[in-house]
């Protein structure tokens, strides 16, 4: 990053003299200045140039500075905006600053101060881009993205990844929520010849149905209210790289039909346009549903299934790969100990409990449990008191039973014995087990 804060600055003002003066001052400071006398032209500049900061007037014909600011917030949230206006009021200043504007000047501004504020704005943008670049490099070099597994099924998956990573064939990754399907998709991409091309992930379950089409296909200016300029969709963003459709089973049938056509023809149309745009990408998909059952119930297209299911990877749940639990624990402790500036290890008792837990939330749940334990650990060792109530209940009975049983067996025996000892008094039974009344009642209901 240039220590003088030099960068690309867009000035938007309907007064030619105001633009001329400010442009001359900033050009002398070493900035690459772009000028626009209205929002319409400014939008075109932003669509084609990667600017580092925007200085805009508020009152302008047609679209004003506030509408322009809203568009920037939506489409370019990392670009700082500085307002410069002759019609400033305290209310408008407060409004813009609370909505995320970087600074607010009244004309004529203190140009020395403006240069200082602009320098900070550009440096902030450069810093954000450097952080993003660093994160991407870490991801590509394996950062926090290492697949872990000694389980035979996981070893098979690793072998398959090595075999198909450079292929153009579509891959379907199946498994329960929290098993690490996105991590497998990233490994397929970043270990492949496409590693220097985009990896674009779309969570089909998280985007509202009314928005996902514009998100995937993009749109042209005027396609709908608020579309002040065109925007490429995820298919275009993934050009020559990888598109990952997470939870593809959540797409409705109309979108499934469009996706099938794109996979066949390799071209898309943005919303509001009839122009066909060629796209080339590798498709990776994931699902926690049984898509064959979804086909039978009419919720998923059979022809699309056969398109995306060229290579299928089935990720086992954590309860079926107990031998991998210590490997995950070691990895997560290393990660969170570094973050919390601690050096901690797991006691043998805790390791025994964790390795025999059923893990309904899979690897994601284990990660959260270890994060919590590292944060709470008072000394250099994670003990039972650093675990949630579920694990304390298992520990209580593991000791009395003399061996590790299934969690259901342990809970059943613990609750029965505690109620028997306390003559049916649930509050006393919960206290005896060392868990809250709420947790005790949850276990009691589950067993019933």
pLDDT band at 143 (very low <50, low <70, confident <90, very high): very low
Is the Cβ–Cβ distance between 129 and 7 less than 8 Å?
Answer: no
Is the Cβ–Cβ distance between 171 and 285 less than 8 Å?
Answer: yes
Rounded distance between C-alpha atoms, residue 442 and residue 429, angstroms: 13
Residues of the chain with CATH 3.40.50.2300: 8-137
Is the Cβ–Cβ distance between 168 and 282 less than 8 Å?
Answer: yes
Residue 96 pLDDT exceeds 50: yes
Q: Which residues of 383-398 are buried (b: 16+ CB within 10 A; e: fewer)?
A: ebebbebbbbbbbbbb
Residue 421 pLDDT exceeds 90: no
Residues of the chain with CATH 3.40.50.300: 152-316
User: Which of 9-18, 40-49, 64-73, 404-413 comes out lowest in average pLDDT?
Assistant: 404-413
Burial class (CB in 10 A: 0-12, 13-18, 19+), 12: buried
Mean pLDDT of 223-251: 88
Residue 201 half-sphere exposure toward CB, CA atoms < 13 A: 15
Rounded distance between C-alpha atoms, residue 55 and residue 151, angstroms: 57
What separation in angstroms does the CA of 326 have from each of 169, 345, 347, 348?
34, 12, 12, 11
Instruction: Give me the architecture of the 8-137 domain, per CATH.
Output: 3-Layer(aba) Sandwich (3.40)
User: Which of 69-73, 370-374, 421-425 comes out lowest in average pLDDT?
Assistant: 421-425
Residue 102 pLDDT exceeds 50: yes
Length of the chain: 448
Q: Which of these, 103, 113, 131, 119, lies nearest to 3 by C-alpha position? A: 119
Burial class (CB in 10 A: 0-12, 13-18, 19+), 296: exposed
Percent of the chain with pLDDT over 90: 42
Is the Cβ–Cβ distance between 181 and 175 less than 8 Å?
Answer: yes
Rounded distance between C-alpha atoms, residue 326 and residue 334, angstroms: 12
152-316: CATH number: 3.40.50.300
User: If DSSP codes are grouped into helix, strand and coil, which group holds residue 25?
Assistant: helix
Rounded distance between C-alpha atoms, residue 436 and residue 171, angstroms: 46
| Three-state DSSP string of 62-88 | CCCHHHHHHHHHHHCCCCCEEEEECCC
Identify the DSSP state of 319: G
281-325: pLDDT as tens digits = 999 999 999 999 999 999 999 999 999 999 999 999 999 998 899
Residue 173 pLDDT exceeds 80: yes
Mean pLDDT of 241-270: 94
Residue 106 pLDDT exceeds 70: yes
Residue 247 pLDDT exceeds 90: yes
CB atoms within 10 A of CB 240: 12
Phi, psi of 270 (to 5 degrees): -70, 155
Percent of the chain with pLDDT over 70: 85
Domain 320-447 maps to which CATH number in 1.10.340.30, 3.30.450.40, 3.40.50.720, 1.10.8.60?
Answer: 1.10.8.60
Residue 329 pLDDT exceeds 90: yes
Q: Which residues of 69-92 are buried (b: 16+ CB within 10 A; e: fewer)?
A: bebbeeeeeebbbbbbbeebeeeb
Positive/negative CA dihedral, 359, 363, 368, 369 = positive
**pLDDT number for residue 267:** 93
**pLDDT number for residue 142:** 45
User: Which of 110-124, 164-178, 279-293, 402-416 comes out lowest in average pLDDT?
Assistant: 402-416
Rounded distance between C-alpha atoms, residue 144 and residue 134, angstroms: 13
Residues of the chain with CATH 1.10.8.60: 320-447
């Amino acid at each position: 990053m240039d220590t003088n804060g030099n960068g690309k600055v867009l000035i938007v003002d309907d007064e030619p003299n105001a633009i001329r003066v400010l442009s001359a001052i900033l050009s002398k400071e070493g900035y690459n200045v772009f000028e626009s006398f209205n929002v319409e032209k400014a939008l075109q500049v932003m669509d084609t140039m990667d600017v580092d900061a925007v200085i805009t007037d508020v009152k302008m014909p047609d679209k004003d500075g506030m509408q322009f600011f809203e568009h920037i917030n939506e489409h370019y949230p990392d670009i700082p905006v500085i307002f410069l206006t002759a019609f400033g009021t305290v209310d408008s200043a407060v409004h813009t600053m609370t909505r995320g504007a970087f600074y607010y000047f009244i004309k004529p501004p203190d140009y020395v101060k403006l240069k200082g504020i602009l320098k900070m704005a550009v440096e902030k943008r450069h810093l954000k881009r450097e952080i993003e670049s660093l994160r991407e490099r870490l991801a590509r070099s394996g950062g926090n993205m290492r697949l872990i597994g000694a389980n035979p099924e996981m070893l098979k998956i690793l072998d398959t990844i090595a075999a198909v990573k450079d292929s153009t064939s579509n891959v379907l990754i199946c498994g329960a929520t929290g098993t690490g399907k996105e991590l497998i998709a990233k490994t397929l991409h970043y270990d492949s010849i496409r590693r220097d091309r985009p990896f674009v992930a779309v969570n089909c379950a998280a985007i509202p149905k009314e928005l996902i089409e514009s998100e995937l296909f993009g749109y042209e200016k005027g396609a709908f209210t608020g579309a002040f300029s065109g925007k490429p969709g995820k298919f275009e963003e993934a050009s020559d790289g990888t598109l990952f459709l997470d939870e593809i089973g959540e797409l409705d049938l109309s979108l499934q039909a469009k996706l099938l056509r794109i996979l066949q023809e390799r071209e898309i149309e943005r919303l509001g346009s009839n122009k066909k745009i060629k796209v080339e990408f590798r498709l990776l998909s994931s699902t926690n549903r049984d898509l064959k059952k979804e086909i039978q119930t009419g919720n998923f297209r059979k022809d699309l299934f056969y398109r995306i299911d060229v290579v299928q990877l089935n990720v086992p749940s954590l309860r079926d790969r107990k031998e991998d639990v210590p490997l995950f624990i070691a990895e997560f402790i290393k990660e969170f100990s570094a973050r919390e500036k601690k050096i901690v290890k797991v006691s043998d008792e805790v390791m025994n409990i964790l390795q025999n837990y059923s893990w309904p939330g899979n690897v994601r749940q284990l990660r959260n449990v270890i994060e919590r334990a590292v944060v709470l650990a008072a000394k250099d060792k994670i003990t039972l008191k650093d675990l949630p109530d579920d694990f304390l209940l298992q520990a209580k009975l593991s000791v009395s039973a003399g061996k590790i049983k299934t969690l259901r067996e342990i809970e059943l025996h613990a609750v029965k014995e505690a109620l028997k000892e306390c003559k049916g008094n649930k509050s006393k039974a919960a206290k005896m087990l060392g868990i809250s009344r709420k947790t005790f009642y949850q276990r009691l209901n589950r067993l019933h």
